[in-house]
Amino acid sequence: MNARQLIVSGDDFGAAAEVNAAVIRAHRDGILTSTSLMVRGDAAAEAVALARATPTLAVGLHLVLVHGRPSAPPAEIPALVASNGAFHDAPVASGIRFAWTAISRTGRTQLRQEITAQLDAFAATGLPLAHVDGHLNMHLHPMVLPTLLDLTPRYGIHAVRLLREDVRAALAHDRGHAARKIAEGVAFNALAAWSAPRLRASGMRVADRVYGMHQTGHIDERYILAVIAQLATGLTELYCHPSLGVSPALAPYQRGYDHAGELAALTSARVRAALGAADVELVSYATPRPS
Residue 224 forms part of a structural domain? yes
Residue 207 forms part of a structural domain? yes
pLDDT: which is higher, 110 or 253? 110
Nearest of 257, 217, 267 to residue 239 by alpha carbon: 217
Residue 101 forms part of a structural domain? yes
pLDDT in tens, 11-61: 999 999 999 999 999 999 999 999 999 999 999 999 999 999 999 999 999
Residue 290 forms part of a structural domain? no
Residue 244 forms part of a structural domain? yes
61 φ/ψ angles, rounded to the nearest 5 degrees: -95, 130
Residue 289 forms part of a structural domain? no
- Percentage of the chain lying above the pLDDT 90 cut: 66
For residues 281 and 66, give the distance between their C-alpha atoms in angstroms, rounded to a whole number: 34
For residues 126 and 119, give the distance between their C-alpha atoms in angstroms, rounded to a whole number: 12
Residue 227 forms part of a structural domain? yes
69 φ/ψ angles, rounded to the nearest 5 degrees: -110, 145
pLDDT in tens, 117-173: 999 999 999 999 999 999 988 899 888 999 999 999 999 999 999 987 777 777 677
- The per-residue pLDDT for 176 is 74
- Provide the number of structural domains found in the chain: 1
pLDDT in tens, 241-263: 999 988 888 877 788 888 999 99
Q: With bands split at pLDDT 50, 70 and 90, how would you rate the model's confidence at 264?
A: very high
pLDDT in tens, 68-94: 999 999 999 998 898 999 988 766 666
For residues 24 and 33, give the distance between their C-alpha atoms in angstroms, rounded to a whole number: 10
Residue range(s) defining the domain that contains residue 17: 4-283
Question: 55 burial class (0-12, 13-18, 19+ CB within 10 angstroms)?
Answer: exposed
- The per-residue pLDDT for 291 is 62
Q: Is the confidence at residue 265, as pLDDT, over 70?
A: yes
- The per-residue pLDDT for 99 is 59
Residue 94 forms part of a structural domain? yes
Q: What is the CATH number of the domain that holds 34?
A: 3.20.20.370
- The per-residue pLDDT for 147 is 93
pLDDT: which is higher, 251 or 288? 288
